[in-house]
C-alpha cells in the first residue's frame, strides 16, 4: 500500500482552522443501525431518530434563456481563493445555435475587473487568445465554434456555437463546453458580478460556473442553486441528515490529496444547517491517469468499447480502498462531529451494477476480467478434472478458460433457463459476476468501517433483485444477485436503491427493488431513494414518465412513500436528482413534518414488519436464467409487485434462503422462482411451508441438480405438472370467476418451459391457457392449500383468492395499495370510488378510526368507509374504543 498522503494529525490541525466546531476533546459522534429487536432504527449516540433525509447536489443553478438576444448577469460569492480560476459555459444536450458576446466579471468588493468585457472583434484569434473548447479531439461529436461577423451584440462579431446531436442513435452527448484559460484571480468571500450577452436560437438552459482546475475541480461560484434552500427547508421539518456527492480525491503517487472540494461541500451543508448530519456520496471511479497505468483494468465490451473500471481487478480494489480509507480518516478528523456516515458509489449511475447493464452489448472481456475469472474457477473447481466434469468439456483448463463468447451469452437454446448439462460455463460466469461485484462492495465497506473506527453508518446501493427482471441479456448481467454475500458483511449498515421505476406513479404502489424484509432480518436497514418527479421537476430523468403536475399530487405520492417506509422500517431521502429544486417548496416539507405522527410512535415502540403475505425470490435460480427469461422475469418478478401491492393486505419481500432457514413466518407464501433446488432444499422447503398456503409460480422445482425433473416438481408442489406449448396467457374459468378472478393476464406468447396442471377436476382449475389446459389451479393438501400459477405474473385477483384461502386479513376487498403495521394503515387509491377498510380481529369489537396526520376522528366500528380518488393517500390510525 502506498503511504497515506495526509496524516490524521495533519488533517485534524487543518480541520480545526477551517471548522472550529470540531473538537478532539468532545465525545466522538456515533451513528449506527440498531436492529436488536428486528426493527432497524438509526441511532445517534444511542438515541433512535427518524430515518428521514435530504439528498441534493451543491453547485450553480441553470440559467433558462428563451430564444432571442438578451443580457444575462448574476452575482456570486467566491467559495475559495484562486489565481487559476476558469469560467465554464455549458449549453445542454440540445441541437441548435447559440451566439455569445461581451463576457465580463467584476469584483464588487474592490471594483477590480477580473475579466474585462471580452468581445470577438479581432477575428478567430479573439477566441483562442482567452478560451478553449472541450473535448478538444474526436470525442467532440456535437459542437462547432466560429467567430462570426454579425453574430454578436448590436451586429458586432460574436462567438457562434453550433450544436448537433451525436451521429449514432443512442450515443450519449459528450460534456461539450467552452472554458476560459485558467488565469482568473478570485478572492475568497468576495462578491462578484458576471455578465454576458447571449442569443440562443432555441429555448435552452445554460450552465455557467467558475472552477479552480486540478485533479479535482473545485467549484468556486455561479448562479445561486437551490441546494442550500432545500437543506434549510429540510431542517425546518426536523430533517438533519443530508446526503450530497463528490468524487474521492485520487492523486498520482507522490502527490498530496487536495481535500478542498470535499471540505467545501461539507461546509456548504453546515452553513445552511449547522445541525446537519452529513452522509457524503463518494464516487469511486479512478482517475484517467490511473486507468492509463492499468490499461487491462478498463472494462471492455464485445464490440471493443473500453470504459470505466473492472471491479474484479485486485489493483482497483486495493487502490480504491486505500483512497476511501484516506478520505474517511480526513473527514473524521475535519468534520467527525457532523459526519453520520459514508456512501461509496461506483459502476452504472454509482449503484454497483455493471456499467451498461440495460444496453444490448455485453462486457467482461478486459484482461482483468479474464484473469479474475480464472482465479475464481480455480477456487471453485481446484483442478482441471473437476472443471471438465462440470462443463462436460475435456478440452477446457483452469489456466486457459475463456470468458464465454458473446454469441453464447446472447443465446437461449433451452428457453428461459440455462441447461446445466450444456451451459454450466454460462451459469458459472453469472455467479462469478455476482461474486466480483459483491466482493468489491465488501472490500470498500471494510475500508470505510476501519476509517470511521466502527462509529458511522456505511451505506451501499445493492441488491435490486426484483428490479432487474426485465434486463434483455438476463437479470444476472447486473451483478446484483449476491445479496446474501453482502448482507453477511459486518461492515455494512444500510443498503439502498431508488424507489422502483415500475408502478411508482399516482395510483400505484412505489415498490421496493429488493428483498427488503430479508435485509431487515440480516440486521441491516433498507433505504428508499425518493427521486419522485415532483411538480417542480422538468428534466428527462428516470421516473419522468410519472411526473406529477401539482403540489397536491406530489404530496399524495410523498405521503404514500413515507407511509410505506414507516410501516416497513425503511429509511428514505428525498432526492433533488436534477439539482434544480425538485423539493424546493415549503408545502412538501410541511408534509414531512406532519409525518412525524406515524414515524415517532413506530420509532418509540419498535416492532419488526412481519406481514401475512411473503413474496419470495431465489437468487440462485436467477443465475440460471438466459436472455429469453425476460418473458417470465419481467411479469413474474418485476411487475408482480403491482398485483401484490393491491391485494388489500401488506406484503413482504424475502430471499428464499431465509425461508429455508426458518426465519420467515407467513400465512401466504408466493414462491416466485424456485426453479433450481436440490433434493435437500426441496425437503426443507416443504417442511417450512407446512401449515401455510403457497402459490407456486411458473416452473417450481424444475431443475434437480443438472437436469429437469417432473418428479421433483410434483414432490415439491403436489401438482402433476406437464409441459405445454400453448401461449402463456391465462383466461379465467367459471370456477375462477366465482372466486373473483375476472381478467385474463400474462404474456400472449409461447414460453419454454411452460407447464400446466394435469388431472384436476374443473372446479380446481381457476384459469386456463388458450389450449384449455390449467394455467392456474388449486388443490388442498394435508399441509395446506396449494396454488399453481404457470402463467408469469399473477394479478391482484389471483393473489387475493389465495390470500382468502390462507386466512390473510384483507384491509380492503378491492384493489387498493395497502401498507399496515401496528395501529396504522396507509392507503393509496388505485381507482376512483368508495373504499371500505376493515380492522383485523373480532368483527364484534369496536374501533375508533382517526386520520393519523390530523388526529381528526373519522368513525367507529369494525370498518370505515372512505370515498377516494385515484392517487389519493390516507394514513389512518385505528384503536380499540374506550370501554370495549
Residue 357 confidence (pLDDT):
97
Residue 540 confidence (pLDDT):
86
Tens of pLDDT, residues 746-789: 999 999 999 999 999 999 999 999 999 999 999 999 999 999 99
Q: How far, CA to CA in Å, does 524 sit from each of 333, 458, 516, 712, 741?
A: 27, 10, 9, 35, 38
Domain count across the chain = 3
User: Is residue 240 in a domain?
Assistant: no
User: Is residue 53 in a domain?
Assistant: no
11: phi then psi, degrees, rounded to nearest 5: -60, -45
* Whether residue 705 sits in one domain with residue 847: no
Helix locations, 114-207, DSSP H: 125-128
- What span, in angstroms and rounded, lies between the C-alpha atoms of 865 and 436? 52
* Whether residue 764 sits in one domain with residue 681: yes
Under a CB-based contact definition with an 8 Å cutoff, are residues 778 and 786 in contact? yes
User: Is residue 868 in a domain?
Assistant: yes
DSSP secondary structure letter of residue 93: S
- The three cell numbers of residue 97 are 445555435
- What span, in angstroms and rounded, lies between the C-alpha atoms of 789 and 796? 13
Distance of CA 765 to the CA centre of its chain: 39
764: Cβ contacts below 8 Å, ≥ 6 apart: 735, 774, 777, 778, 779
* Whether residue 783 sits in one domain with residue 678: yes
User: Is residue 122 in a domain?
Assistant: yes
- Model confidence band, residue 10 (pLDDT cutoffs 50, 70, 90): very low
Long-range contacts from 136-141, C-beta under 8 angstroms, 24+ separation: 139/174, 140/174, 140/176, 141/166, 141/167, 141/171, 141/174
User: Is residue 727 in a domain?
Assistant: yes
Under a CB-based contact definition with an 8 Å cutoff, are residues 709 and 703 in contact? yes
Residue 658 confidence (pLDDT):
98
Under a CB-based contact definition with an 8 Å cutoff, are residues 824 and 566 in contact? yes
Under a CB-based contact definition with an 8 Å cutoff, are residues 143 and 161 in contact? yes
Of 160, 190, 221, at which residue does a domain stop?
A: 221
Tens of pLDDT, residues 43-75: 999 999 999 999 999 999 999 999 999 999 999
Residue 5 confidence (pLDDT):
32
- Model confidence band, residue 394 (pLDDT cutoffs 50, 70, 90): very high
- What span, in angstroms and rounded, lies between the C-alpha atoms of 600 and 558? 17
User: Is residue 844 in a domain?
Assistant: yes
Angle between the N-to-C axes of helices 384-391 and 420-451, in degrees from 0 to 180, rounded to the nearest 10: 120
Q: Among 222, 139, 201, 124, which residue's Cα sits nearest to residue 175? A: 139
pLDDT value at 3 more than 60: no
Q: Coil, strand or helix: which one is 285?
A: coil
Q: How many other C-beta atoms can be found within 10 angstroms of the C-beta atom of residue 138?
A: 6
Residue 432 confidence (pLDDT):
98
Residue 783 confidence (pLDDT):
97
Residue 19 confidence (pLDDT):
39
User: Is residue 379 in a domain?
Assistant: no
Torsion-angle region of residue 599: left (phi > 0), alpha (psi -120 to 50) or beta? Answer: alpha
The burial class, CB within 10 Å (0-12 / 13-18 / 19+), for 879 is exposed
pLDDT value at 13 more than 90: no
Q: Among 517, 526, 466, 518, which residue's Cα sits nearest to residue 493? A: 526
Q: Coil, strand or helix: which one is 84?
A: strand
- What span, in angstroms and rounded, lies between the C-alpha atoms of 535 and 87? 32
Strand pairing partners for 104?
195
Q: Coil, strand or helix: which one is 341?
A: strand
Q: How is 392-440 classified by DSSP, letter by letter?
A: T-TT--TTTPPPPPHHHHH--TTSSB--HHHHHHHHHHHHHHHHHHHHH
Under a CB-based contact definition with an 8 Å cutoff, are residues 15 and 334 in contact? yes
* Whether residue 197 sits in one domain with residue 92: yes
* Whether residue 151 sits in one domain with residue 95: yes
**What CATH number is attached to the domain comprising 747?**
3.40.50.880
pLDDT value at 551 more than 60: yes
Average pLDDT over residues 849-864: 96
- Whether residue 135 is preceded by a cis peptide bond, meaning omega within 30 degrees of 0, is yes
- The three cell numbers of residue 104 are 465580463
- What span, in angstroms and rounded, lies between the C-alpha atoms of 463 and 483? 5
pLDDT value at 23 more than 90: no
- What span, in angstroms and rounded, lies between the C-alpha atoms of 824 and 595? 12
Residue 593 confidence (pLDDT):
98
* Whether residue 857 sits in one domain with residue 752: no
Average pLDDT over residues 269-297: 98
* Whether residue 836 sits in one domain with residue 716: no
Of 783, 806, 829, at which residue does a domain stop?
A: 806
pLDDT above 70 as % of the chain: 97
Q: How many other C-beta atoms can be found within 10 angstroms of the C-beta atom of residue 855?
A: 9
Q: How is 581-603 classified by DSSP, letter by letter?
A: -TT--HHHHHHHHHTHHHHHHHH
- What span, in angstroms and rounded, lies between the C-alpha atoms of 199 and 195? 14
623: phi then psi, degrees, rounded to nearest 5: -75, -15
Specify the higher pLDDT residue, 548 or 883: 548
Average pLDDT over residues 595-601: 98
- What span, in angstroms and rounded, lies between the C-alpha atoms of 573 and 207? 26
Average pLDDT over residues 381-396: 97
Average pLDDT over residues 125-130: 92
Under a CB-based contact definition with an 8 Å cutoff, are residues 111 and 166 in contact? no
* Whether residue 722 sits in one domain with residue 854: no
* Whether residue 797 sits in one domain with residue 773: yes
By residue range, what is the domain housing residue 787?
668-806
Average pLDDT score over the chain: 95
* Whether residue 850 sits in one domain with residue 760: no
Residue 124 confidence (pLDDT):
85
- What span, in angstroms and rounded, lies between the C-alpha atoms of 569 and 194? 48
Tens of pLDDT, residues 205-241: 999 999 999 888 999 999 999 999 999 999 999 999 9
689: Cβ contacts below 8 Å, ≥ 6 apart: 659, 669, 783, 784
- The three cell numbers of residue 140 are 467532440
* Whether residue 185 sits in one domain with residue 70: yes
Q: How far, CA to CA in Å, does 674 sit from each of 428, 522, 671, 766, 817?
A: 19, 21, 6, 22, 26
Residue 843 confidence (pLDDT):
73
Q: Coil, strand or helix: which one is 141?
A: coil
- What span, in angstroms and rounded, lies between the C-alpha atoms of 458 and 540? 30
* Whether residue 213 sits in one domain with residue 76: yes
Tens of pLDDT, residues 156-208: 999 999 999 998 877 889 999 999 999 999 999 999 999 999 999 999 999 99
Average pLDDT over residues 838-855: 90
Residue 22 confidence (pLDDT):
41
Q: Among 208, 264, 251, 170, which residue's Cα sits nearest to residue 75? A: 208
**What CATH number is attached to the domain comprising 119?**
2.60.40
Q: Coil, strand or helix: which one is 292?
A: helix
Q: How is 603-667 classified by DSSP, letter by letter?
A: HHS------SEEEEE-HHHHTTB-GGGHHHHIIIIITHHHHHHTSSS-EEEEEHHHHHTT----S
The burial class, CB within 10 Å (0-12 / 13-18 / 19+), for 364 is buried
User: Is residue 790 in a domain?
Assistant: yes
Of 205, 221, 237, at which residue does a domain stop?
A: 221
Amino acid at each position: 500500500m502506498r503511504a497515506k498522503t495526509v496524516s490524521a494529525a495533519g488533517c485534524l490541525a487543518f480541520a480545526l482552522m477551517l471548522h472550529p466546531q470540531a473538537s478532539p476533546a468532545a465525545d466522538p459522534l456515533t451513528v449506527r443501525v440498531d436492529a436488536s429487536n428486528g426493527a432497524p432504527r438509526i441511532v445517534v449516540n444511542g438515541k433512535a431518530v427518524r430515518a428521514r433525509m435530504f439528498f441534493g447536489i451543491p453547485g450553480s443553478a441553470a440559467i433558462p434563456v428563451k430564444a432571442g438576444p438578451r443580457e444575462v448577469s448574476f452575482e456570486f460569492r467566491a467559495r475559495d481563493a484562486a489565481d487559476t480560476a476558469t469560467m465554464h459555459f455549458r449549453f445542454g444536450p440540445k441541437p441548435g445555435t447559440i451566439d455569445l458576446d461581451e463576457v465580463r466579471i467584476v469584483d464588487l468588493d474592490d471594483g477590480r475587473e477580473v475579466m474585462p468585457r471580452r468581445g470577438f472583434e479581432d477575428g478567430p484569434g479573439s477566441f483562442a487568445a482567452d478560451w478553449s473548447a472541450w473535448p478538444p479531439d474526436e470525442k467532440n461529436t456535437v459542437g462547432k465554434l466560429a467567430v462570426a461577423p454579425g453574430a454578436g451584440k448590436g451586429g458586432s462579431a460574436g462567438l457562434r456555437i453550433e450544436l448537433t446531436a451525436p451521429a449514432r442513435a443512442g450515443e450519449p452527448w459528450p460534456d461539450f463546453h467552452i472554458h476560459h484559460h485558467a488565469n482568473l484571480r478570485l478572492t475568497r468571500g468576495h462578491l462578484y458580478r458576471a455578465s454576458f450577452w447571449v442569443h440562443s436560437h432555441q429555448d435552452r438552459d445554460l450552465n455557467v460556473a467558475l472552477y479552480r482546475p486540478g485533479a479535482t475541480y473545485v467549484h468556486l461560484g455561479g448562479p445561486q442553486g437551490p441546494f442550500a434552500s432545500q437543506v434549510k427547508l429540510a431542517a425546518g421539518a426536523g430533517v438533519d441528515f443530508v446526503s450530497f456527492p463528490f468524487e474521492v480525491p485520487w492523486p498520482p503517487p507522490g502527490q498530496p490529496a487536495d481535500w478542498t472540494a470535499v471540505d467545501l461541500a461539507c461546509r456548504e451543508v453546515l452553513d445552511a444547517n449547522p445541525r446537519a448530519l452529513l452522509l457524503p456520496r463518494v464516487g469511486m471511479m479512478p482517475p484517467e491517469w490511473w486507468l492509463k497505468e492499468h490499461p487491462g483494468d478498463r472494462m471492455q465490451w464485445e464490440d471493443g468499447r473500453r470504459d470505466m473500471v473492472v471491479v474484479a481487478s485486485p489493483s482497483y480494489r486495493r487502490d480504491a480502498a486505500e483512497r476511501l480509507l484516506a478520505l474517511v480518516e480526513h473527514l473524521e478528523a475535519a468534520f467527525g462531529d457532523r459526519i453520520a456516515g459514508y456512501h461509496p458509489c461506483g459502476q452504472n449511475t454509482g449503484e454497483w451494477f455493471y456499467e451498461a447493464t440495460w444496453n444490448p452489448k455485453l462486457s467482461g472481456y478486459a484482461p482483468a476480467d479474464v484473469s479474475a475469472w480464472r482465479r475464481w474457477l480455480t477456487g471453485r473447481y481446484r483442478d482441471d478434472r473437476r472443471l471438465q466434469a462440470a462443463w462436460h468439456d475435456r478440452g477446457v483448463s483452469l489456466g486457459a478458460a475463456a470468458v464465454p463468447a458473446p454469441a453464447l451469452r446472447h443465446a437461449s437454446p433451452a428457453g428461459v433457463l440455462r441447461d446445466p448439462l450444456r451451459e454450466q460455463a454460462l451459469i458459472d460466469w453469472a455467479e462469478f459476476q455476482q461474486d466480483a461485484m459483491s466482493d468489491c462492495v465488501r472490500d470498500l465497506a471494510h475500508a470505510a468501517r476501519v476509517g470511521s473506527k466502527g462509529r458511522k453508518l456505511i451505506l451501499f446501493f445493492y441488491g435490486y433483485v426484483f428490479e432487474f427482471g426485465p434486463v434483455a441479456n438476463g437479470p444476472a448481467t447486473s451483478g446484483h444477485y449476491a445479496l446474501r454475500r453482502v448482507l453477511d458483511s459486518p461492515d455494512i449498515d444500510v443498503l439502498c436503491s431508488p424507489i422502483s421505476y415500475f408502478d411508482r406513479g399516482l395510483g400505484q404502489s412505489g415498490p421496493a427493488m429488493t428483498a427488503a424484509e430479508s435485509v431487515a432480518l440480516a440486521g441491516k436497514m433498507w433505504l428508499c431513494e425518493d427521486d419522485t418527479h415532483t411538480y417542480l421537476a422538468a428534466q428527462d430523468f428516470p421516473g419522468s414518465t410519472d411526473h406529477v403536475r401539482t403540489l397536491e399530487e406530489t404530496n399524495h405520492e410523498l405521503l404514500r412513500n413515507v407511509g410505506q417506509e414507516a410501516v416497513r422500517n425503511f429509511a428514505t431521502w428525498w432526492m433533488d436528482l436534477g439539482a434544480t429544486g425538485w423539493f424546493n417548496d415549503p408545502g412538501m416539507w410541511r408534509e414531512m413534518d406532519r409525518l412525524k405522527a406515524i414515524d415517532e410512535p413506530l420509532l418509540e415502540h419498535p416492532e419488526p414488519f412481519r406481514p401475512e403475505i411473503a413474496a419470495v425470490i431465489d437468487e440462485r435460480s436467477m443465475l440460471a436464467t438466459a436472455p429469453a427469461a425476460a418473458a417470465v422475469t419481467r411479469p413474474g418478478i418485476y411487475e408482480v409487485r403491482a398485483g401484490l401491492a393491491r391485494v388489500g393486505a401488506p406484503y413482504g419481500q424475502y430471499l428464499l434462503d431465509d425461508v429455508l432457514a426458518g426465519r420467515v413466518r407467513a400465512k401466504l407464501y408466493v414462491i416466485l422462482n424456485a426453479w433450481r433446488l436440490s433434493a435437500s432444499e426441496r425437503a426443507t422447503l416443504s417442511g417450512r411451508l407446512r401449515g401455510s398456503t403457497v402459490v407456486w409460480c411458473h416452473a417450481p422445482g424444475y431443475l434437480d441438480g443438472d437436469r429437469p425433473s417432473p418428479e421433483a416438481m410434483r414432490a415439491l408442489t403436489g401438482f402433476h405438472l406437464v409441459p405445454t406449448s400453448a401461449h402463456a396467457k391465462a383466461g379465467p374459468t367459471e370456477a375462477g370467476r366465482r372466486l373473483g378472478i375476472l381478467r385474463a393476464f400474462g404474456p400472449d406468447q409461447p414460453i419454454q418451459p411452460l407447464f400446466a396442471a394435469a388431472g384436476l377436476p374443473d372446479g380446481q382449475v381457476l384459469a386456463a391457457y388458450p389450449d384449455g389446459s390449467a394455467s392456474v389451479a388449486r388443490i388442498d393438501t394435508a399441509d395446506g392449500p396449494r396454488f399453481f400459477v404457470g402463467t408469469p405474473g399473477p394479478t391482484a385477483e389471483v393473489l387475493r383468492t389465495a390470500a382468502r384461502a390462507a386466512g390473510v386479513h384483507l384491509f380492503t376487498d378491492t384493489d387498493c395499495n395497502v401498507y399496515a403495521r401496528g395501529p396504522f394503515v396507509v392507503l393509496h387509491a388505485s381507482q376512483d370510488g368508495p373504499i371500505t377498510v376493515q380492522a383485523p380481529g373480532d368483527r364484534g369489537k369496536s374501533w375508533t378510526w382517526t386520520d393519523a396526520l390530523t388526529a381528526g376522528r373519522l368513525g367507529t366500528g369494525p370498518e370505515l368507509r372512505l370515498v377516494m380518488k385515484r392517487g389519493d393517500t390516507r394514513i389512518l390510525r385505528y384503536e380499540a374504543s374506550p370501554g370495549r
